[in-house]
Structure 1
Amino acid sequence: MLRNMPVLVLPYGVKQVACGHSHTLVSTQDGRIHGWGYNSYGQAANEKCTYAWYPSPVDWCVGEVRKLAAGGGHSAVLTDACSLKELCEFILADSVTPWNASMIEDVAYRSGSDSLVRLCERLRKSHPDGGICDC
């Protein structure tokens, strides 16, 4: 009598877990964050979907994760920028636009700033024309 039983495969090395009203976040030993569940506001995944069915990488934070929190329609991640490199990532992340994403992604890739690379990549994919306006 075998039954279909849902199985959730969590990323390896889970360090912290935060459960919201309808979504969950985990941070792992390697510094990544994964989320799943209700995602209408982007609180649980990178993709523009209303529900993340499985643990999906989240790259909207930079720095070492210290605390996770999740609520009804929001998530919060407290990070600690421990180096000048991480502080520069914070500043660059705030200034990424469709027009400069390729240039910043190239520098971030060469300096090992993985989360900044993913942010630029996501921005480029959401604006495939590179932000060029046909006005």
Structure 2
Amino acid sequence: MKLALVLATAAAALGACAPTAYGPPPPPPGPPPGAAVMPAPPPPGAALAPGDCFRTSDIRNHTVGDERTLYVDVRGRGVYRIGMSGACLAGAISSDPLIMRQPPGSPIACRPIDLDIGIGRSGFESRCIVESIVRLTPPEVEALPPRLRP
């Protein structure tokens, strides 16, 4: 009797997952009208356009977007979104200092591998592996909440 009850319950649960006679579920709703849509990040390791490369010594300010996203201002000429492959920024705040190491070779950042970034917190350093670098357009910068603009 117990087995019959378990089988009936399992069949009911599976039946709830089956497609309905009404067709496939509707697509998820899009963003509200007038909302800014940030483009998808580039594939890991993608290089910037030649004119978008920057000197790491020209970074003037930064903000922490989330545990994987850093925004940097490069001498007021551009804002870049730097995506990390791990949650190295978890618990970091925008007043925590950036620790930049110049890798061997050129001090110019064009590809994620060109950046060696860490963030200092309470006397310790959290190292980051950079996955993507994107130069934001002026409308994308304006769409950022004020607390995220570097």
Q: Give the TM-score normalised by the residue count of structure 1.
A: 0.25
Whichever of the two has the greater Rg, that structure is: 2
Q: Give the TM-score normalised by the residue count of structure 2.
A: 0.23
Answer 1 or 2: higher relative contact order, Cα 8 Å, separation at least 6: 2
